[in-house]
Amino acid sequence: VTVAGAEEATTGTSTKRRSRARWIAGFVLVAVAALVVVLAMRPAADSETPASPLVGRPAPEVRGTALDGRSVDLAAMRGRWVVVNFFATWGVPCRQEHPELKAYTEAHTGPQSPAVIAIAYDENDIASARSFFAQNGGSWPVVPDAGGHAAVDYGVRGLPESYVVDPAGNIAAHVTGKVTAAAIEAITGNAP
Amino acid sequence: VIRRTVWLASIAVLVGALAFGGWPRHDAPRTPAQRVEHLATIVRCPTCSGVSVAQSEAPLARSARQEMERQVAAGRSDQDIEDYFIARYGDDALLTPRRGGAVRVAWVLPIGVAAVAVGVVVVGTRRWRRGDPGAGEADVADVRLVEEALEVRR
């Protein structure tokens, strides 16, 4: 062992250490950059409406007596497209979508045509719903939701929300907010 | 010896606390009211942001609570009721994700890393106190090397 040899060995070791440190620093830098990019590209949690896990699954039961006395049973409507619409008359978008639902039901009047069932979420809003339909028209049944059971059963997060049920009884689509006749037609494939 | 005992006790407490936090607990409340209260604290309010059903007075939170009461009265287990909400509101139906799979890894991994880090610190401290055993005793070649270096300086 000589001084020169020792110096060479020392220099070699420190070069290796430096190289390793550079590699580690580079790896950490790349990992942090990747994390920043992923977080930056992710939409803010509040701006996201999570997709309903019920889409593609059998629609939960809707059964009851409508405000006009009709019996309503979603299970008995197999073979038809059905729009299950959750609403309350105090919601502005709920009032705004009413003409759209009215236009949709007026365009589909056959016995096997697509139908709409409205669910009045707020039990304290029933009288108001009755007078709202009397004033604005609308022939589809309005079923009161006792205790909000149906709303929770469908995973409703806000009003209005609509679930389009296919003829097999599965939920084909979930529409949050104001629904339009055109959107329903697009989902049902313009079913007659 | 006392220091080492203190160190080992601290490590045991740390690892034990982390492991306890990450392990599922089976201390489910027993009365129906307590069960509903418990469920209301873990299920997310459907319409609010980041609060539980218990913390919210929103109509849909009240409906969710009524649904819990109805299902508890119907004899469904806490697990069944949690599954019910997850099936309707997705995985984020619960404020705290279920402890399983990736979540278990997320708990266990830091425990492992912390244990390794503590081990490295303990071993490093010991070596530092004793003098680096890696350096070992100077052999004949080392002594000669130092002497040569000193001669060069002279």
A53 lies within 8 A of chain B by CB: yes
What are the pLDDT digits (tens) for B53-68?
999 999 999 999 999 9
CB contact under 8 A, B66 and A122: no
Task: Decide which of B14 and A11 is more confident.
Answer: B14
Interface check for B144 against chain A (CB to CB < 8 A): the answer is yes
pTM: 0.68
Query: Is A148 an interface residue toward B (CB < 8 Å)?
Result: yes
* Partner-chain contact B59 A148, CB within 8 Å: yes
pLDDT band at B104 (very low <50, low <70, confident <90, very high): low
What's at B15, amino acid-wise? V
pLDDT at B132: 59
The predicted complex's ipTM stands at 0.75
Do A133 and A95 touch, CB atoms closer than 8 A?
A: no
The helix/strand/coil state of A42 is coil
* Residue from A103, A151, A138, A144 nearest A124 by CA: A144
- A52 contacts in chain B (CB < 8 Å): 88, 90
For residue B95, CA distances in Å to A42, B99, B108, B111 come to 20, 12, 20, 23
Shortest Cα distance, chain B CAs vs residue A153, angstroms: 7
C-alpha–C-alpha distance, residues A178 and A58, integer Å: 23
Residues contacting A83, CB < 8 A, separation 6+: A101, A104, A114, A115, A116, A117, A162, A163, A164, A165, A179, A184
| Structure tokens given for A42 | 């992710």
Contact A2, B145 (CB under 8 A): yes
Q: Are A114 and A84 in contact (CB under 8 A)?
A: no
Interchain CB distance below 8 Å, A147 and B144: no
Give whole-number Cα distances, A158 to A84, A151, B46, B85, in Å: 14, 9, 8, 16
At position A20, the amino acid (one-letter code) is R
Give contacts of B57 with chain A, Cβ < 8 Å.
none
Q: What is the residue-level pLDDT of chain A in tens, covering all 192 positions? A: 555 665 666 666 677 777 888 888 888 888 888 877 877 766 554 445 568 999 999 999 999 999 999 999 999 999 999 999 999 999 999 999 999 999 999 999 999 999 999 999 998 999 999 999 999 999 999 999 989 999 999 999 999 999 999 999 999 999 999 999 999 999 999 877
Q: What is the DSSP string of A158-187?
A: SSSEEEEEPTTSBEEEEEES---HHHHHHH
| Tens-digit pLDDT profile for residues A4-59 | 665 666 666 677 777 888 888 888 888 888 877 877 766 554 445 568 999 999 99
Within 13 Å of residue A115, how many CA atoms lie on the same side as its CB? 20
For residues B92-118, give the mean pLDDT: 78
Point out which residues pair with A165 in neighbouring strands: A82, A171
φ and ψ at residue A43, rounded to 5 degrees: -65, 150
What residues of A are in contact with residue B49 (Cβ under 8 Å)?
A: 45-46
**Average pLDDT, stretch B127-149?**
77
> Which positions in chain A touch B147 (Cβ < 8 Å)?
none
Q: Is B51 on the interface with A (CB under 8 A)?
A: no
DSSP A57-126: SBPPP-EEE-TTS-EEEGGGGTTS-EEEEEE-TT-HHHHHHHHHHHHHHHH--STTS-EEEEEE--GGGH
B86/A contact by beta carbon, under 8 A: yes
Percent of chain B with pLDDT over 70: 84
Using the Cβ of B34 and the Cβ atoms of chain A, whether some distance falls under 8 Å is answered with no
Q: Does B138 touch chain A (CB under 8 A)?
A: no
Return d(Cα A154, Cα A87) in angstroms, integer. Answer: 13
Contact yes or no for B59 and A122 at CB 8 A = yes
Yes or no: say if A187 and B102 are a contact pair by the CB < 8 Å rule. no
Q: B142 CB near a chain A CB, below 8 Å?
A: yes
